[in-house]
Amino acid sequence: MRYDRKFVQALNQVLPAVLAAIIRRQPASPERTAFVWSVAVGPALARVTTVELRDRTLIATARDARWAREIDRANETILARVRHLLGDGIDRIDVLTE
């Protein structure tokens, strides 16, 4: 079976927006924040961090300094992904170490 390239590209463009719309409709909760974090950073980084949303700041606590540096290094990219999924209600990401 052959797939129309235009159709496949269209799905790649639509699905992130659909996911973001579904997430934004959910009530704010620690579980929603953790899910968004895992989508934004990937499973490896999500396993070694915890997150909490306080006012308009996302507090990420890393298992050790090495992981904290990774979050700092990718902060702008992660923040853009989180904002895409949650909306513009996040001002920044603060990083702590356990």
Going from N- to C-terminal start, the domains of the chain cover 5-97
Buried b / exposed e over 2-33, threshold 16 CB at 10 Å, is: eeeeeeeeeeeeeeeeeebeebeeeeeeeebb
Is a pLDDT exceeding 70 seen at residue 53? Answer: yes
pTM: 0.84
Report the chain's mean pLDDT, rounded to a whole number. 90
- The string of pLDDT tens digits covering residues 68-83 is 999 999 999 999 999 9
| CATH classification number, 5-97, choose in 3.30.70, 3.30.300, 1.10.3470, 3.90.1010 | 3.30.300
State pLDDT tens for residues 10-27. Answer: 666 777 888 899 999 999
89, two tokens: 């209600």
pLDDT of residue 17: 84
Tokens 């923040």 sit on residue: 79
pLDDT on residue 9: 60
pLDDT of residue 6: 61
* DSSP label at residue 27: P
